[in-house]
Structure 1
């Protein structure tokens, strides 16, 4: 294209349009498309409606719908009139951004311009108007198709029926269904199901049944809709009667039985459910995932964990699955009854099936494992659960950490914390306080200092008890220099630090060779009206002997008292 421009060759309009079309079909991107379009303009080729349609489509496909609308408004200045393809591109783009009202405005603008839509316009725009419940416009399109001598296909008829039913326009939906049949199209089962659902929404169950019988419907889907509504309305006995009647006529499938069985389970009627399952199996229908799940959930709600566990093993033998809800309920009841090993068995099996626990159930399982001494198992369970998208709460992480500390596995705590960070676990003040207390051991005291600094940098302040424990341990291991700045921020923020803590920090920092930092704490201490105790005073004036810094934490474990009075009394002797 640049070569043609520089050589002053005149490209034909059809060649330019073919180039733009090819770039769009290849998905070359907006930048390359716009480069080609600008070269066309520079070459003096005047665009026609096809050229501008490719431009508008390129802008829409790149998400720049507003720019496409601007180009649409400028078409008249370029002596071009939009055609139905122009409107189709823009209406589809607006609907893709949930701007259906603007799409409708554009549709009426098309009608004002007396622009005749083609068959592809009807096929693609009518479903969009139905999706966004633009019923008036969908019906208008149907009328226009009729006037143009175009016939709706099965898909468009079905879409229109569903739209009318969803908007409670039942009579109109039935009328469209009749037109569908009259035109020679056999309605799909979904169209009958939509009309039955609309009847049932208004509790017109008998009319729904009459509608199915009058139309000689033989597919099971609409009958299942009616069964589901009867069950949800508390008419379980009626649902059983209809199930038996329709079964004799060959109008039901496995889902029909499963619907009724599931609702009896949800009502806690396990005896009736078992009877129906027996008849179901005799009738050569197999329970599905929903049925097994409902039965296990029912057993769990009734506290019959042995029966629930037995059903689980039956399901496992048949290679069936469970819903996440019933799977979680089974794990929970086994944890409640201290059947931790069985709960782990259930979890491990369904994890391989891709089924995930709820966060609550996972917490119970891991806590139960820790409390029963299965610490390593708990750590493995957490890792396995993450693979299925289930994450622990901090409370559960804390339980694992405390269990690891009990086993003297401090490095395991660090590994677990690293995994929390990798999983983008959001730490709050409570979590930071708990973690900090867990880190205050000899083996990971250095990491505790790093964690404390991270905590303060993220604008969290430890509670007084945790902060005092931290200061004691940092002084004991001569690491106050690592946390001095963060400690100063904490004191400035909380203002609840005792004289004992000031003394420990000042004494420890001087012993660690950080006199400038120690002076900052001393200034604060004096501003509060406190003075250092004798031991701190001695180190400040350089009279202290060669005590080891490790003794500091032990010296300051005594309770606070009136340090000012004690120093004055010592000075009188």
Structure 2
């Protein structure tokens, strides 16, 4: 058996074991089996051994022995005490005491001594031995001690104790529920079959679940097809696993086919099947299958719960199937269920999404809805449609009927502020206060947005100061509007104060707003402050986008501080910020300014490998720089692999590449690029043409104008050739 044990099974952290079994005493609890190997020594503590034996001499019984063993910290001492008890004439170990020592040793990974006591237990023919070992095996499995579990099972089998398929299924179920890797589940399943235990449908269901979790979809479906060959018929749980797993992987059509098979086989789903599959179909917007399952559920005599109806109604409303949603709502009431407020909210949202506001209003009136949330949903619908007159009228009626709250006023005020209706906003705010509603922080957040929308940034700033004095917090959108607005009027000191308050409060700023603030500092030449903003923002949880880094790097290059770009680039990599095309552009520019050809080649190669295309200007500048340093050949492989657009890989680019490679002595590569150029229907310029046919010597090119001037100069011969091509 030892040879069959897999190498991948290793000791892991011992979790709490809470299995309760009527055949085993309560001492089998998790805390009693957590073994700290650091506290165990090869030699037992004689002092502890003597003191514990002294407690047992006058009153040795199995229960007291277990209590004493529980209080023994040293495993070797516990084993010695156990063996001492075995030698006492008037004492015989029970299934409980053997189970204790077997579990203790197994959890410590001491398989040799565990085997010894298993054999001793079998020789002693203790009553209820099999029942006592079952929870021990279960504990091993739960704590990922598969080696120990299988050893006990093997010994039980050799002693004619044959665990039932139920016992094995419990172990498989524990592995699957605990998220064990598929190899562990498969190994245990194979050992079960080797023991002569015939798998049943529950066994195969656990196997299917493990296969899907390991993303072995084809194998899982194949196992499902083979169930009949193993003498099993799929049950409700089988179809539940298949349908939910396929839907979760966006294979909805296949899951519908499986559902059809279920109906053809006349398999009746249980309550858990419907409660699980209906929501999963709703998640993938297949309300038709959800309704179908609901009807099947009703025809089976099962009464759907409120949450099932709620999920279906939500799905129907999102897909604007409002008539069906209303029918479901009525069906709920007929079955004696009281729809929750969320159901009414979803239906109202559906009506508003369809622009049917009158229908939404009639629906709430007809059903005498007294909850505030559905009415607030209708109020929000009016505001989203910019129908503020209707929204204000409806809010007044809500107040009259006492079904409004502070959030109702906030919805209208926020809507007005978002649309620049500040003057009307203060009228509504006055009415709110007169109606005995106290404005909360959210109201002031809306007012800040409103002032920013009408470019009254000073008033917005004063509101912020007032809110800060009260230690209140604005919402993220309000902070973003305020920071961006202050940047537009170059109040950068004040914008920084806002960011500092946000940072102290742990409130993140929108990434795009941070970019605006950083760019504003860069435009004024305050690079140190711009760099400091990045650190300040990150302390509040604000995510720095690639644009924020790129902006700073760009201005560092413009102010002849390209040497600091590498530091910022390192921080960018440490923080896991992705690199976009513009980031690569500015990095290549910075490396070129420092004459770092090797770094340019590495960066360009990485850029192309990531599937990013440089623009024509950036590519030209890089090629000219590399050609000037006779290093163009180091990036030709990247250029060849570059999937470029026509405007990126142009005749000008080809001329630079061919020219540079010829000057560097790489004639073969130059000819390869010439072939590609000609295949594209383009003609080389005069300098390139001269180099290729030998009419211009290399010394003449080196001694004359630089490469850049050579490749951009007008060439009569090239023009004539081009004209000839145009005529053709």
Q: TM-score per shorter chain, which class? A: 0.7 to 0.9
Q: Does the alignment pair 1:388 with 2:539?
A: no
1:357 and 1:115 mapped to 2: Cα distance?
A: 54
Higher RCO structure, 1 or 2 (CA under 8 Å, sep 6+): 1
2:588 and 2:328 mapped to 1: Cα distance?
A: 66
Q: TM-score, normalised by structure 1?
A: 0.76
Residue 530 of structure 1 aligns with which residue?
A: 697
User: Does the 8 Å CA contact 1:236/1:260 hold for their aligned counterparts?
Assistant: yes
Residue 164 of structure 1 aligns with which residue?
A: 316
Residue 397 of structure 1 aligns with which residue?
A: 552
Alpha carbons of 1:281 and 1:400: their partners in 2 closer, same or farther (altered >3 Å)? farther
- What secondary structure is seen at the aligned counterpart in 2 of 1:532? helix
2:195 and 2:356 mapped to 1: Cα distance?
A: 68
2:515 and 2:695 mapped to 1: Cα distance?
A: 46
- Structure 1 position 528, deviation (Å): 6.8
- Structure 1 position 469, deviation (Å): 7.0
Residue 185 of structure 1 aligns with which residue?
A: 337
Q: Does the alignment pair 1:271 with 2:414?
A: no
Q: Does the alignment pair 1:57 with 2:212?
A: no
Residue 599 of structure 2 aligns with which residue?
A: 451
2:463 and 2:306 mapped to 1: Cα distance?
A: 44
2:221 and 2:264 mapped to 1: Cα distance?
A: 17
1:531 and 1:176 mapped to 2: Cα distance?
A: 85
User: Does the 8 Å CA contact 2:546/2:578 hold for their aligned counterparts?
Assistant: no
Residue 91 of structure 1 aligns with which residue?
A: 243
1:173 and 1:340 mapped to 2: Cα distance?
A: 52
Alpha carbons of 1:134 and 1:486: their partners in 2 closer, same or farther (altered >3 Å)? closer
2:660 and 2:280 mapped to 1: Cα distance?
A: 73
Residue 398 of structure 2 aligns with which residue?
A: 246
Alpha carbons of 1:256 and 1:496: their partners in 2 closer, same or farther (altered >3 Å)? same
**CA displacement 1:319-372 (0-9 Å, x = unmatched):** 444444443332222222121111221222224444444554333322322343
Residue 136 of structure 2 aligns with which residue?
A: none
Q: Does the alignment pair 1:255 with 2:403?
A: no
The correspondence of residues 97-112 of structure 1 with structure 2, limited to 5 A, is: 97-112=249-264
Aligned length: 507
**CA displacement 1:262-281 (0-9 Å, x = unmatched):** 22122211011122223334
Residue 387 of structure 2 aligns with which residue?
A: 235
User: Does the 8 Å CA contact 1:382/1:392 hold for their aligned counterparts?
Assistant: no
- What secondary structure is seen at the aligned counterpart in 2 of 1:347? helix
1:19 and 1:292 mapped to 2: Cα distance?
A: 58
- What secondary structure is seen at the aligned counterpart in 2 of 1:243? helix
- What secondary structure is seen at the aligned counterpart in 1 of 2:490? coil
Residue 510 of structure 1 aligns with which residue?
A: none
Alpha carbons of 1:285 and 1:123: their partners in 2 closer, same or farther (altered >3 Å)? farther
Alpha carbons of 1:46 and 1:271: their partners in 2 closer, same or farther (altered >3 Å)? same
In the alignment, structure 2 segments of 5+ residues that lack a partner are: 1-149, 609-613, 641-652, 666-690, 711-728
Alpha carbons of 1:301 and 1:204: their partners in 2 closer, same or farther (altered >3 Å)? closer
Give the RMSD, CA atoms, in angstroms: 3.9
- What secondary structure is seen at the aligned counterpart in 1 of 2:699? coil
Residue 465 of structure 2 aligns with which residue?
A: 313
- Structure 1 position 21, deviation (Å): 2.0
Q: Does the alignment pair 1:76 with 2:228?
A: yes
The correspondence of residues 16-55 of structure 1 with structure 2, limited to 5 A, is: 16-55=168-207
Residue 439 of structure 1 aligns with which residue?
A: 594
In the alignment, structure 1 segments of 5+ residues that lack a partner are: 441-447, 475-479, 507-523, 538-554, 562-573
Residue 290 of structure 2 aligns with which residue?
A: 138
1:40 and 1:497 mapped to 2: Cα distance?
A: 68
The correspondence of residues 208-223 of structure 1 with structure 2, limited to 5 A, is: 208-223=360-375
Residue 152 of structure 1 aligns with which residue?
A: 304
Match of residue 456, structure 2, among 290, 295, 304: 304
User: Does the 8 Å CA contact 1:30/1:59 hold for their aligned counterparts?
Assistant: yes
**CA displacement 1:372-430 (0-9 Å, x = unmatched):** 3432211111233455212252651234414763xxx6653432233344434245564
**CA displacement 1:540-569 (0-9 Å, x = unmatched):** xxxxxxxxxxxxxxx999x989xxxxxxxx
Deviates most, 126-135 or 190-199: 126-135
User: Does the 8 Å CA contact 1:173/1:195 hold for their aligned counterparts?
Assistant: yes
1:466 and 1:124 mapped to 2: Cα distance?
A: 58
Deviates most, 231-240 or 321-330: 321-330
1:531 and 1:430 mapped to 2: Cα distance?
A: 32
Q: Does the alignment pair 1:417 with 2:577?
A: no
